Structure 1
Amino acid sequence: MEAEGAKWTSTEKAADGFFHRSPFNFFRSQIQKKKRSAEKGGCEQYQGSDHEESKEESRKGSKGHKMNDSCLETQMVEQIFPAPGEALEVIPHLETLDLSWNTNIGGKLFLLIQKIPKDHKLKTLKVMDCSLTSEDGESLARQLYKIHNLEVLDLSINRKIGYSLESIAQELKHVSGLKVLNLNRCGLKPDGFKCLASALQHLLELRELDLSCNKEIGGGFKYLAAHLAELRNLEVLNLHQCCITEEDMTVLTHVIPLLSSLQDLDLSLNKSIGKSSDHLLSRLRFLPKLKSVLLSNCSLKHDSFASLADAALHLPELEILDLSWNKCVGGNLKLILKALNLGAEIKVLRLSSCSLVDEDLGGLGLVIQAGHLAQLQELDLSYNNQISDQGWTMFYQDIVGLEQLSELDVSRRPSSRGNCGEWLGKLLAALLKLPQFTELGLQGWVLSEVQQKQLEHFNRDNERNVRFDVWYGA
């Protein structure tokens, strides 16, 4: 199908089979209509697209395709206007503007936003990975008062934005209805972070706050404490890889349990958490709406892990739990399994590189047999090289109880390849009883010729479509 004045491109086809227009395609079609209307002496009223790219497609999408396609659309708009920003003048009802993956925007953002009319209807502005400069940040700050309807602001993966965050933070008071603020990998500086913390008092509608991968804000969470606690509507808090210190943990221990609406909490890759996290993790029990807890690579100790296990008993809606790269889990998985006995909602369980042993898999198998993980869709047991062939064999006989399972990863570390045991046959037999299963990770296992043929013929012989991530080397 072809829209008037614009053709669909391959990157605009969504995963669900439906077609959506990018903001630049919308610009082009509306601009061409404007030209035709002007030639006829008429006028038209324009309606903005409220389409927003799905979260899953954004996470897995091809950066190269987005850049090439978006840059092409930019050139088309530039042929019509001296500056692309003039499009915002002739499309006053535009609600979504996504300029992401256009690195040539860096240093030129003012051309796109300088002519934004006051009280514009724009609700979503995304400029992810656009090589923005500190000057671009200053330009954006000066325009925020014109777009007070803004609900989503994504500046992620622009490492120089941190130098102008003070100016941006001071102007956030003009967008008090902001619901999503994404500053992932923005090179936040201590002074800018302090200003941002103060600005939160104006953003009481905030639902998502992403400060992840900003290593220089570690030690500065004392500034965030008072105003973060006021965000009663906050549902997503991402502090992944923020170099959180023990002092920060003291602050977060008092603040996070007050976020009564919190659903997703990511503290991954903050290794200091393991030194004092038992207090914070024990207080997660006061957040009954939590659906996702990510604690990968946090250097958890036995006591902090036990505190988390006790708290998890009070999290009835927990769906995603990531404990990967915490060695203390090995030999102690039974602690968290008590909570999983009640956790019928668990859909994703990640235990990669946790030093699991046969006893841990045996306990997990018993929980599965009891039907307490009936909703589990993704299970990551990769990089647990201490498990014996017998341990794997027994476990694969139990996974038939996971009727909703779609992904399983049992890969080994690349540096420690091992021969695939006879358990592969048991595993493949179990997969035949799992109708939703689509992906199996077997990296690091060396397969015999017979085992290779078993995988090669599996889909054909059983009319299935399972993806096997496997290494066939000797």
Structure 2
Amino acid sequence: MERPSPRCEEILENRKQEDVLLRKTSFDLTMSQTRKKSSSDGETKPRTSFVNKFLRGSKLRSSKAESRNESNDLKTADSQPSDETQKTATLDTATPLTSETELGCQVEQFLQKLGRKAVDTCLDLSNCGLTTADVREMVALLPFLPDLETLDISWNDFVGGTLHSVTEQMHLVSKLKSLRLGSCRLTTDDVRALGAALKAIPDLEELTLSWNSKVGGNLPLILQKFQAGSKIRTLELVDCALTSEDGAFVDAAFRHLSELRTLDLSCNKELGGGFEDSLAQVATLERLEVLDLHQCSLTAGDVVSLTQVIPLLSSLHELDLSANKEMGSSSENLLSRLRFLPALKSLLIDNCALERETFTALAEASIHLPALEVLSLSWNKCVGGNLKLLLETLKLSTSLQVLRLSSCSLVTEDVALLASVIHTGHLARLRKLDLSYNDSICDAGWAIFCQNVWLLRELTELDISLRPSTFRDCGQWFRHLLCAVTRLPAITDIGMKRWLLPASLEEELKRLDQDRSSSIHFDHGGRQ
């Protein structure tokens, strides 16, 4: 066991001094009698656990001045207590406090051993390399943490197979609001034990079970335990090997999750088909703000169901449908209905094999998204040559901060159009712009773009990298880029992978680095 911290040593020393003081001084007999009467009537006031004070960062204050004042006050007492009274006082105050102090130091030593510190009502032991013995030690401390609100033991493999020892103590931390068990190698028995324990933590608002493959096929063991009036606001089930059967059951579980704000089912590749004709209950999630279904192998039937639900989710802020290839030919109606989401701030539809018709529907709907801050359409080849369909959105948007068009087969005309929009004063709030992996843009297109990019005064990141299989020499447009950089006060990163610089341009780049007080990271292909 590690040596107690200086603070713990100071607390222990203060307690020893208090014990000596209590033994040397007298107590008012009336106060002693009052204490005895309160005890006999069963009205003894419960004492706040030192561990709770410790976790809340409370400090035990004991000064020499206070000790002297207490001593002087006690010396003026009119009567002296009996030996029995004095022993009772010593047992009632000194011994339990010393025990609690030692317990507090034990908590601190346990956390120090794992490289963590206690913060308020949060116990964060994620990615600590917990052993089975550590889990047992943590469980032994739970009875002394009744005010705990957050418990995070994610990314600890040895939790798997031992979770029942934790869940059996859940009734002792009934105020728990956040339980994070991501990547813990949970077993089927762990999932079952967790489901049985949910009723003991009625205030739970966040449950994270991501990256636990055994959740797949067993999700009902948890979701069927949610009761009416559940306070769950965040449910994360990323890459849990969920099956289509799990997806079908999710619909039934939603009727008890009216407070749900975040639903993340992403990276469950076997979930496809589970939402067909079974998303009706999602419409009851009127407060849902984040819906993440990326890489879920959504089928055409899933898309149809989602199309019916989307217009009813008026509070939605973030929607991620990326990496669902079936959307390319079946999502025209779905994307057109995005116009009913006026609060939408983030829309990610990367790598969905969009076709011209579906992209047109998206472009027309995006005009009605005034709050949009993030728009990502990367890896959709149909954007190339058709960026003009987004022209009105790009002109009208006053909130857009992130625009990602990587690997969209953009052509010179697309970049020229983007430059024109920038030149007319639009996209003024843009902070991140990704045009990488668009190798068909000629030097003239890059020149037009670089001559106007300086107008994006809030830009922090720009990526114009080439594909991994492509290397090209930088043209004269690079000097326009260098000139623009000097007029971009917030820029920090410029991605230029596989663009080759001649020696003369590399020297100019070095001089730029030396002249500017803040550094800019140019990630380029090096000297020609």
Give the TM-score normalised by the residue count of structure 2: 0.77
Matches within 5 A, 1:238-253: 238-253=292-307
Q: Which letter maps to 2:414? A: D
1:194 and 2:194 are equivalent in the alignment: no
Percent identity, aligned pairs only, is 43
Whether contact under 8 Å (2:56, 2:120) holds in the other structure is no
Matched residues in 1 for 2:254 and 2:6: separation? 42
Q: Which letter maps to 2:257? A: L
CA distance 1:113–1:469, shift in 2 (3 Å): farther
Whether contact under 8 Å (1:176, 1:203) holds in the other structure is yes
Partner of residue 393, structure 1: 447
Q: Which letter maps to 1:169? A: L
Partner of residue 13, structure 1: none
Whether contact under 8 Å (1:341, 1:367) holds in the other structure is yes
- Alignment equivalent of 2:497, drawn from 425, 430, 443: 443
Partner of residue 294, structure 1: 348
* Counterpart secondary structure, 1:172: coil
* Counterpart secondary structure, 2:360: helix
Matched residues in 2 for 1:309 and 1:290: separation? 15
Give 1:174 deviation, angstroms: 6.8
Matched residues in 1 for 2:100 and 2:525: separation? 64
CA distance 1:38–1:452, shift in 2 (3 Å): farther
Partner of residue 381, structure 1: 435
Q: Which letter maps to 1:112? A: V
CA distance 1:263–1:307, shift in 2 (3 Å): same
- Alignment equivalent of 1:279, drawn from 308, 333, 345: 333
After TM superposition, the structure 1 stretch with the greater mean CA deviation from structure 2, 344-353 or 212-221, is 212-221
Q: Which letter maps to 1:299? A: A
* Counterpart secondary structure, 1:128: coil
Partner of residue 98, structure 2: 40
Matched residues in 2 for 1:52 and 1:42: separation? 19
1:346 and 2:400 are equivalent in the alignment: yes
**Structure 1 residues not aligned, in runs of 5+:** 7-25, 54-64
Matched residues in 2 for 1:344 and 1:31: separation? 43
Whether contact under 8 Å (1:144, 1:174) holds in the other structure is no
Give 1:394 deviation, angstroms: 0.8
CA distance 1:195–1:171, shift in 2 (3 Å): same
CA distance 1:423–1:122, shift in 2 (3 Å): same
- Alignment equivalent of 1:406, drawn from 445, 457, 460: 460
Matches within 5 A, 1:140-289: 140-173=194-227, 176-222=230-276, 224-289=278-343
Which whole-Å deviations, capped at 9, do the CAs of 1:25-45 have from their partners, x for residues lacking one? Answer: x999659999x9846256899
Matched residues in 2 for 1:367 and 1:384: separation? 19
Matched residues in 2 for 1:373 and 1:114: separation? 55
Which whole-Å deviations, capped at 9, do the CAs of 1:288-307 have from their partners, x for residues lacking one? Answer: 11111100000111111111
Whether contact under 8 Å (1:48, 1:96) holds in the other structure is no
Residues matched between the structures, number: 436
CA distance 1:217–1:28, shift in 2 (3 Å): farther
Whether contact under 8 Å (1:151, 1:175) holds in the other structure is no
Matches within 5 A, 1:68-79: 70-71=128-129, 74=130, 78=133
- Alignment equivalent of 1:367, drawn from 421, 425, 433: 421
Whether contact under 8 Å (2:146, 2:172) holds in the other structure is no
Whether contact under 8 Å (1:86, 1:112) holds in the other structure is no
Matched residues in 1 for 2:95 and 2:56: separation? 10
Matched residues in 1 for 2:512 and 2:95: separation? 59
Matched residues in 1 for 2:370 and 2:55: separation? 48
Partner of residue 378, structure 2: 324
CA distance 1:66–1:416, shift in 2 (3 Å): farther
Partner of residue 147, structure 2: 93
CA distance 1:209–1:82, shift in 2 (3 Å): closer
Give 1:438 deviation, angstroms: 0.7
Matched residues in 2 for 1:336 and 1:32: separation? 53
Partner of residue 507, structure 2: 453
Which whole-Å deviations, capped at 9, do the CAs of 1:178-217 have from their partners, x for residues lacking one? Answer: 0000001011122222222211110000000000011111
CA distance 1:370–1:143, shift in 2 (3 Å): same
Q: Which letter maps to 1:49? A: D
Partner of residue 131, structure 1: 185
Matched residues in 1 for 2:416 and 2:6: separation? 57
Which whole-Å deviations, capped at 9, do the CAs of 1:143-184 have from their partners, x for residues lacking one? Answer: 111111010111111122213212011112277110000001
Q: Which letter maps to 1:117? A: H
Q: Which letter maps to 1:94? A: L
Indicate the structure (1 or 2) with the bigger Cα radius of gyration: 2
1:337 and 2:391 are equivalent in the alignment: yes
Give 1:422 deviation, angstroms: 1.9
- Alignment equivalent of 1:49, drawn from 94, 97, 120: 120
After TM superposition, the structure 1 stretch with the greater mean CA deviation from structure 2, 231-240 or 446-455, is 446-455
* Counterpart secondary structure, 2:331: helix
CA distance 1:167–1:5, shift in 2 (3 Å): farther
* Counterpart secondary structure, 2:422: helix
Q: Which letter maps to 2:98? A: K
Q: Which letter maps to 1:40? A: T
Over the aligned positions, Cα root-mean-square deviation in angstroms equals 3.0
Matched residues in 1 for 2:257 and 2:478: separation? 53
Matched residues in 1 for 2:516 and 2:56: separation? 53
Give the TM-score normalised by the residue count of structure 1: 0.85
CA distance 1:27–1:301, shift in 2 (3 Å): farther
Matches within 5 A, 1:84-123: 84-117=138-171, 120-123=174-177
CA distance 1:343–1:82, shift in 2 (3 Å): closer
**Structure 2 residues not aligned, in runs of 5+:** 10-50, 61-93, 108-117
CA distance 1:97–1:66, shift in 2 (3 Å): closer
Whether contact under 8 Å (1:437, 1:466) holds in the other structure is yes
* Counterpart secondary structure, 1:321: strand
Partner of residue 37, structure 2: none
After TM superposition, the structure 1 stretch with the greater mean CA deviation from structure 2, 99-108 or 205-214, is 99-108
Matched residues in 2 for 1:452 and 1:275: separation? 46
CA distance 1:373–1:5, shift in 2 (3 Å): farther
Partner of residue 20, structure 1: none
